[in-house]
Amino acid sequence: MFFLLSKILVFLSTPLIYCIGLLLTGLFLRDPKTSKRVLYAGVFLLVFMSNSFILDEFMRAWEIPATADNTLEKHEVGMVLGGMLSYDHTLNRMQFNRGGDRLHQAVLLYKKGKIDKILFVGGSGMVSLPKEIESIYAREYLSQIGIPDTDILIETTSRNTFENARASKILLDSLHIQGRSLLITSAIHMRRARGCFSKAGVVFDCYSTDRYSGSRKFELDHCLLPRASALAEWDALIHEWIGYLSYKIASYL
């Protein structure tokens, strides 16, 4: 039930819906004064949420900072959370989204000797395609780029971050891994993931990837010009806020 509800709530994380809703409401209100106020509110929200500088400030406050590789201690296992790839059966190949940086950074850490094994955590996160197991595709990819099968671990049943954490704990315990593992996920997602893995009793350090925010920029276009892609990035941030709040209410954190 919670899994299905979380998918429905994604609809609420789309800021463009708020903007369009206010603008349409303003157009159809009969009272001219109220109509004008609602229209102004819609325009203000659209300008606010398309501003890159404002978005960066909110992102910077939410994201968990990244760790420099030269300060990172060695870990036996790097746990990579799914939600980054799909399989195109027409072209017979894998496709990575922005979150693919999680796996790419894990491979680099493995090559640098910072982790001994890569554990990819995640089954199918799609309600309509329960048999599309992401971790199986990830294992195939890692094998194709030369990672030995003995150093690839996968978890195939979890569908969300809460289940990721519980399944990882069970798997790590079954392999008698007692030391600190390395939790590898997107910086925007790390806050929720960190809470879930701590609640599950996993001992770990954090390694944030694919940050939205970086060094603070004061370029004119960045500070003043609206950017359509900022709306999509707000979508990701609001999605995380809703997810974090939902997990808090459900005592998953």
Tokens of 58: 């909110």
The CATH number of residue 143's host domain is 3.40.50.620
Question: What backbone phi and psi angles, to 5 degrees, belong to 115?
Answer: -135, 145
Structural domains counted in the chain:
1
Of 37-41, 68-72, 214-218, the range with the lowest mean pLDDT is: 214-218
Residue 50 lies in a domain: no
Contact yes or no for 119/171 (Cβ under 8 A): yes
Cα–Cα distances in angstroms (integers) from residue 100 to residues 20, 107, 154, 184, in the given order: 31, 11, 16, 11
Closest by CA position to 210, among listed 239, 194, 189, 224: 189
Angle between helices 161-174 and 228-249 (to 10 degrees): 60
pLDDT value for 125: 56
pLDDT value for 165: 97
Residue 16 lies in a domain: no
Residue 247 lies in a domain: no
**What span, in angstroms and rounded, lies between the C-alpha atoms of 226 and 83?**
29
pLDDT band at 17, cuts 50/70/90?
Answer: confident
Tokens of 69: 């590789």
Residue 96 lies in a domain: yes
Residues β-bridged to residue 112? none
Question: What backbone phi and psi angles, to 5 degrees, belong to 51?
Answer: -90, 120
Residue 41 lies in a domain: no
**Per-residue exposure over 170-192, b if at least 16 CB sit within 10 Å of its own CB, e if not:** ebbeeeebeeebbbbbbbbbbbb
Phi-psi category of 133—alpha, beta or left, where left has phi over 0 and alpha has psi -120 to 50? beta
Residue 154 lies in a domain: yes
Residue 152 lies in a domain: yes
Residue 111 lies in a domain: yes
Q: To 5 degrees, how large is the angle CA 90–CA 92–CA 93?
A: 120
pLDDT digits over 193-234, tens only?
999 999 999 999 999 999 999 889 999 999 999 999 999 999
Tokens of 99: 């979150």
**What span, in angstroms and rounded, lies between the C-alpha atoms of 215 and 140?**
36
pLDDT at 127 over 60: no
pLDDT value for 192: 97
- What predicted TM-score, i.e. pTM, was given to this entire model? 0.90
User: Which alpha helices (DSSP H) does the chain contain, by range?
Assistant: 2-9, 15-28, 32-49, 52-62, 101-111, 134-144, 161-174, 187-200, 220-224, 228-249
Residues β-bridged to residue 93? 88
Domain ranges, residue 124: 69-209
**What span, in angstroms and rounded, lies between the C-alpha atoms of 218 and 53?**
8
